[in-house]
Amino acid sequence: MKEVCGITYQDYGNSEIPIIFLHGIGGNSDSFKPQLEKLSGSHRVISLNLPGYGNSKSLSNLSFKNFADKLVEFMEALHISKVHLCGQSIGGMIALETTIRNPNCVKSLTLIATTSAFGGKDKTFQDDFIKARLKPLDMGMTLKELAVKFIPDIMGSSATDTVKQEAINSMSAVSSSTYRDIIQCLVTFNRRNDIKTLKVPCCLIAGEEDTNAPPKTMKKMAEVIPYAEYHQIPGAGHLTNLEDGKSTNKILSNFYQGLQ
């Protein structure tokens, strides 16, 4: 594990333009293990621990703008001028935010199990979501107990017990303060009207059984984004790239090969 500007990360392989992977709320840099193992043979692959995760320093003020700024700072520290961004769930939102704010830094954008805005436009929905997600912690439940209950519900029918346990272990390692902060941040995301302005090649990957970022939602996004391709993985849920690493890797390999 390496560290630069307060961010811990894994870094393998070699290529002129690296791929940076950004994990979801219950994840860490290992959340892209199948992709790191496969794509490191042809690309430089970097998987971050987002601020507050895996010994990465927390941000004093959690917002999508600050996430994007920190990612650009990270890239500059490694002398990376252009990158392929690939994010899952909130990691995809951060990747999208970064691309919109810094289009010249991004060669391509891959969104896995990600939406262009959180939920509906009704603030009541946002408030109810926060209460529902944080209530177990308020009642004394630990992150590990929450993970055991939550993770199986967001995974698809094809997920193996091994992958489920890996995801539970990952979420269990998240601090309650980080989890609370990132849930509060999540509900503020809204780039619904901006995705039509994207000018980079985009790859959208949905899990057939994902109810958090439903396939129909991601397909509609792909229809709005100018240079987008859409893929749906059968039997996969919200942790798409972990649940079916083989199918995800095939999609990513073909996408990146087409950009050379």
Residues 127-168 pLDDT 10s = 788 888 888 888 888 999 999 999 999 999 999 999 999 999
pLDDT at 120 over 90: no
What domains lie within the chain, and their CATH numbers?
Answer: 2-257 (3.40.50.1820)
Question: Of 11-15, 115-119, 179-183, 234-238, which gets the smallest average pLDDT?
Answer: 115-119
Mean pLDDT lowest for which of 61-75, 89-103, 129-143, 202-216?
129-143
Write out the DSSP string of 48-108. Answer: E--TTSTTPPPPSS--HHHHHHHHHHHHHHTT--SEEEEEETHHHHHHHHHHHH-GGGEEE
DSSP structural state of residue 190: B
Contact 121, 94 (CB under 8 A): no
For 237, phi and psi rounded to 5 degrees? Answer: -105, -140
Per-residue pLDDT tens over the stretch 26-80: 999 999 999 999 999 999 999 999 999 999 999 989 999 999 999 999 999 999 9
Give CA separation, 130 vs 63, 93, 124, 184, in Å.
Answer: 16, 18, 10, 7
Mean pLDDT computed over every residue of the chain: 94
pLDDT band at 126 (very low <50, low <70, confident <90, very high): confident
Query: Does 223 have pLDDT greater than 80?
Result: yes
Indicate if the pLDDT at residue 228 is higher than 70. yes
Percentage of the chain surpassing pLDDT 90?
87
